[in-house]
Structure 1
Amino acid sequence: MFLFVSLVLTAVVASWVAWRVKNRAMLRKSRDIPGPPTVPGLGNALSFMGPPERISDVIGEMRQQYGDVFRFWLGPDLNVIVSDPEEAKSLLSNNKTSTKGPQYKYMTDYCGQGILSGSGPVWRKRRKVVIPNYGRRAVQSYEVVFNQEADVTVERLKKIPEGKTFDIYDDIVRGTTYTVCQTLMGLTREQTLKLPYLEAVITESHDQYLIVFKRMTKWYLQIDLLYYLTKLYHQQQVFIKKMLDLGDSIVRLRLKILETMTDEKKRELLDSKSDEKSNTELSVVDRLVLSNQIPEYDEILKELFTAFTSSQEATAKITSYLLQMMAYHPECQEKLYAEIQDVLDANEKDVTDEHIKQMTYLDMVFKEVIRLFPIGVMLQRTLTEDIKLRNVTLPAGCSLVIPIFHMQRDKRYWENPNAFNPERFEPCKPIPEAYLPFSHGPMDCLGRYFGTKLVKTVSVKILREFRLTSPERYEDMRLVMAVSVASVNGYPVQLHPRNVIQN
């Protein structure tokens, strides 16, 4: 036994020494970057051991103490926070930061090595494959489905008793899920409703995001052997099986459509960049299958899940936040309702691009919502080379971290930054540099047009039919960092029909 322990300790020490020798340049340069004291082997990992809702406070406290550029260690990973807006944007546009950070590896079990968690040539090729389905013209062609599913969501909400408190996210995410399946995935509504495990994926995805974030921030869960012994690992594996079965069913449905096309037609649709119909006649599924960029079938299914969850879950959260903010701020809600009534005639049912363009206050509300509750809380990139900033050099091999959530609530750039105030986005006012809700540079948000239009369409439809209230107050909100920003208490609202008589 003594010999075994001695061998283990020797191996650990040898690994530690080898790591220090290999990373001696990074270790030397890191000493010039301010940051909290570390614990041998763990770095600053113990600071992140609290509940998920404390993570934001920990980062905020470090920023306050060490400034716009500081470092912290998560085990062997050196992370450097940069929250100066000018430097952050410059870094996100730099080709030396085009590699995703090490924490993204905990997403690969779900999303593979591609669009969300991948880097370099693989990421670039796969993004290019699916981008036609996310462009402005493609999103415009989804307008009919956006409106139809928003109407279905409204009808579902009408069945909830007036004044009853409920979490509106549950209804919103079903609507956005069915919308994504009928647009990006290329299915009919009937096919969507028959998909296996769809309900499970809808209801369990949030818990999976929490598991990923726990692995990102809890040092002991980053040790694979320890993680495999936890119930979290078992939950993850059960979910991934359901996720892959769901994706397989979607692919099989689309393959039946592809079998009806000639090879010439497929090539024509893949190569076409200008024809609007061609952009969406092939779904994201079709493009992933036909591109020959992904030889492994499971990897196709994981890339498919990336497109699925980043579209339906993200838009549902933003929509829920927007509606919740209207419930918390009745004066803003009435102003937005008046705008909706002014732009949409009583006999106009569908929300179009032209209507949305005229709703300037809706745009202000939307921008304020994604300022306060960005989908990407922090961005992480691995530096491939040293980068010199004004006062310090970031060493190659470190992880650059851009704290979007904190930048967008920084009192230096925003007056009363934690308050909900859409007027700060009036068209005549300049938007501060510290505003990166869709990231920045070549790795910016792929689904920004899709998400923006879907959120606005659903919100208009609901606010046109209901006045929203809530038993809670905005000041009492508790947020948790789980890859994106989530509300600890959900999105509790109450509905009161407007009783609008339409011709």
Structure 2
Amino acid sequence: MFYSYTRRKIVVIRILKRYGSTNSFHNIPGPLSLPGIGTLYQYLPLIGSYKFDRLHWNGFKKLKKYGPVVREQMVPGVNIVWLFKPDDIEVMFRSEGKYPQRRSHLALEKYRLDRPNVYNTGGLLPTNGPDWLRLRSIFQKGLSSPSAVHNFLPESNEIIQEWLYRLEDICKTPDLVYANELSRLFLELICLVALDLRMNSFSKRELRPNSRSSKLMKAALTTNSCILKTDNGPQLWRKFETPLYKKLRKSQEFMEEVAIDLLSLKMTFFNEDRKKPGSLLESYLSCPDLDFKDIIGVVCDFLLAGVDTTSYTTSFILYHLAKNRLSQSTLYQECKRLLPKPDSPVTKEVLSEAQYAKAVVKESLRLRPVSVGIGRVLDKDAQFSNFIVPRGTVVVSQNQVSCRLKEYFPDPNEFRPERWLKTHKYYQQPHPFLVIPFGHGARSCIARRLAEQNMLIFILKLTRSFKFRWDGSDIDSKSLLINQPDGPISLIMEKRSEDS
């Protein structure tokens, strides 16, 4: 009996050793990490295999070499696990807990926490835990439902129509950089929502390089360009002001100055009969659980996260439509049916029927999402494929890579809006955790519905009024935290006649 028991124990130990090592966190394959520098040597120009500004290229290489679960110590002592399978991505979100955590915008958080006279927290983007939930619960109220964002339809239509009237003149300009023009448009739309005012970004004075709106757009771009490198590079900026941190600080100081000035202006008139019923700013200023420092932080977050995100995403939509004339023609037929005249407003009824326009946006986001993926810090141990990953590990999905794989989408590199229409032969219900450009769950993009609504209004009204074709080289995305076109948005615009 003793012999039998001992033998069974030995067998169990052997099984545990075998499968325990196979499933061990430290056996997850990935790039070699060196003492003191992690895998940063792999990202050095000329000698490295990877690039900080091409995260999707890196992802394809890692998937091919190491498989669907990859472990990397980019910064010594900080493990990052990259996920490529949608089932694993789903597990990541199921393991985020009550307070979904991210390891992101670390230098921005430091900047704000070093200024307690201006900010209460690091803001919505970097903050974790109960402080994040408090802010999120309050600030999402005016943006969490379709009916809430429909309140902004009249003013959004007005601003976009004004931009289109201007487009009739500016599209004749040789070598026009449409990316900057789109940034101006979405800056105006964001300020309408966040501050309940117009920036007059299209005026002659504001078009100057040193104008407030021009500097604000530059400050947002500079900050977003610094985030990825300060998050994942040597964090020397925690000890002294590095050149990269200095750029971020100066950009944030300007954004903060503008936010305070504009908020102070609105506060002056808050108690007068000039406030708009139901405006976001009114609800923030009236909330007893918020003070002025909380509102400064969220306004800066809106400016930082809203302008470049929507302008770059819209740039990619225009690129795909300009290169796919049949898709553009199909969209135009829908626009003409829903909008009797070129200057007809986009209403909530129009939005509900604009199925092809929604498919265009979704297909462009499949190919060129807002970012390469979504990051979380695990709230509990989780199993991804065959590997157990411990609580506290940084896990990042690779949706941009996964959405280009044949096992998930037929002809994955082709722009086919029809694949999202249930009545079309190309329709195929994908895994729900594949195309999630705005994230998922409690920590998804707070302004997702507003961003989608503004982009839909824009492409409906633009396509109703203009034909456009591509006049440049193919473009790809480069990673500046969010995906930016890596080349100019070279479009040739032509005003449509009523018979076209």
- Which TM-score band applies after superposition, normalised by the shorter structure? 0.7 to 0.9
Q: Is the 8 A contact 1:167 1:491 kept in 2?
A: yes
Question: Could you list the per-position Cα deviations for residues 62-88 of structure 1 after superposition, in whole angstroms to 9, with x for gaps in the alignment?
Answer: 111222112000222100112221221
Q: Is the 8 A contact 2:56 2:372 kept in 1?
A: no
CA distance in 1, matches of 2:263, 2:308: 20
How do 1:380-391 residues align onto structure 2 when only pairs under 5 Å count?
A: 380-391=375-386
How do 1:263-278 residues align onto structure 2 when only pairs under 5 Å count?
A: none
Q: Is the 8 A contact 2:357 2:459 kept in 1?
A: no
TM-fit CA distance, 1:374: 1.2
CA distance in 2, matches of 1:213, 1:189: 29
Q: Look up the match of 2:6.
A: none
The CA RMSD over aligned residues, in Å, is: 2.9
Q: Look up the match of 1:46.
A: 41
TM-fit CA distance, 1:376: 3.0
CA distance in 2, matches of 1:347, 1:155: 11
Counterpart of 2:196, as a letter, is: G
User: Structure 1 pair 296/150, CA: closer, same or farther in 2 (3 Å)?
Assistant: closer
Moved more, 98-107 or 70-79: 98-107
1:206 aligns with 2:204: no
Aligned residue among 258, 277, 281 for 1:281: 277
1:363 aligns with 2:364: no
Count of matched residue pairs: 452
CA distance in 2, matches of 1:250, 1:484: 26
TM-fit CA distance, 1:410: 2.2
Q: Is the 8 A contact 1:41 1:76 kept in 2?
A: no
Q: Look up the match of 2:241.
A: 228
Counterpart of 1:469, as a letter, is: R
1:215 aligns with 2:211: no
CA distance in 1, matches of 2:241, 2:436: 36
CA distance in 1, matches of 2:385, 2:271: 58
Aligned residue among 310, 332, 336 for 1:341: 336
Q: Which runs of 5+ in 2 are unaligned?
A: 1-22, 46-50, 113-118
User: Structure 1 pair 450/144, CA: closer, same or farther in 2 (3 Å)?
Assistant: same
Q: Look up the match of 1:21.
A: none
Q: Look up the match of 2:170.
A: 160
TM-fit CA distance, 1:99: 4.0
TM-fit CA distance, 1:335: 1.6
Q: Which runs of 5+ in 1 are unaligned?
A: 1-27, 262-277
Q: Look up the match of 1:197.
A: 212
CA distance in 2, matches of 1:192, 1:418: 36
How do 1:118-267 residues align onto structure 2 when only pairs under 5 Å count?
A: 118-134=127-143, 135-162=145-172, 164-188=174-198, 197-217=212-232, 219-220=233-234, 222-224=235-237, 228-230=241-243, 232-260=244-272
User: Structure 1 pair 411/223, CA: closer, same or farther in 2 (3 Å)?
Assistant: farther
Counterpart of 1:309, as a letter, is: L
Q: Is the 8 A contact 1:97 1:383 kept in 2?
A: no
CA distance in 2, matches of 1:139, 1:295: 24
Moved more, 197-206 or 320-329: 197-206
TM-fit CA distance, 1:304: 1.4
Q: Is the 8 A contact 2:100 2:442 kept in 1?
A: no
Question: Could you list the per-position Cα deviations for residues 191-246 of structure 1 after superposition, in whole angstroms to 9, with x for gaps in the alignment?
Answer: 998998332112342232111122234x33x222687242x333222211211111
Q: Secondary structure at the match of 1:467?
A: strand
Q: Is the 8 A contact 1:29 1:395 kept in 2?
A: no
Q: Is the 8 A contact 1:101 1:400 kept in 2?
A: no
Q: Look up the match of 1:15.
A: none
User: Structure 1 pair 151/296, CA: closer, same or farther in 2 (3 Å)?
Assistant: closer
Q: Is the 8 A contact 1:153 1:172 kept in 2?
A: no
Q: Is the 8 A contact 1:472 1:492 kept in 2?
A: yes
Aligned residue among 485, 488, 495 for 1:487: 485
CA distance in 1, matches of 2:154, 2:54: 42
Residue identity over aligned pairs, in percent, reads 19
The structure with the greater share of residues assigned to helix is 1
How do 1:448-459 residues align onto structure 2 when only pairs under 5 Å count?
A: 448-459=448-459
Counterpart of 2:81, as a letter, is: V
User: Structure 1 pair 313/58, CA: closer, same or farther in 2 (3 Å)?
Assistant: closer
Q: Is the 8 A contact 1:162 1:497 kept in 2?
A: no
CA distance in 1, matches of 2:277, 2:305: 21
User: Structure 1 pair 453/325, CA: closer, same or farther in 2 (3 Å)?
Assistant: same
Q: Is the 8 A contact 2:223 2:252 kept in 1?
A: no
TM-fit CA distance, 1:465: 1.6
Q: Is the 8 A contact 1:210 1:483 kept in 2?
A: yes
Q: Secondary structure at the match of 1:472?
A: coil
Q: Look up the match of 1:19.
A: none
Q: Look up the match of 1:416.
A: 411
Counterpart of 1:455, as a letter, is: M
1:101 aligns with 2:102: yes
User: Structure 1 pair 465/435, CA: closer, same or farther in 2 (3 Å)?
Assistant: same
Q: Secondary structure at the match of 1:416?
A: coil
Counterpart of 1:63, as a letter, is: L
Q: Secondary structure at the match of 1:469?
A: strand
Counterpart of 1:104, as a letter, is: H
Counterpart of 1:447, as a letter, is: A
TM-fit CA distance, 1:137: 1.6
TM-fit CA distance, 1:396: 2.0
Q: Is the 8 A contact 2:378 2:393 kept in 1?
A: yes
Counterpart of 1:199, as a letter, is: S
CA distance in 1, matches of 2:150, 2:31: 49
TM-fit CA distance, 1:452: 0.9
Q: Is the 8 A contact 2:104 2:125 kept in 1?
A: no
TM-fit CA distance, 1:289: 4.4
Q: Secondary structure at the match of 1:65?
A: helix
Aligned residue among 401, 406, 409 for 2:401: 406
CA distance in 2, matches of 1:175, 1:348: 17
CA distance in 2, matches of 1:416, 1:149: 37
User: Structure 1 pair 39/449, CA: closer, same or farther in 2 (3 Å)?
Assistant: same
Q: Look up the match of 1:30.
A: 25
Q: Secondary structure at the match of 1:494?
A: strand
CA distance in 2, matches of 1:435, 1:405: 8
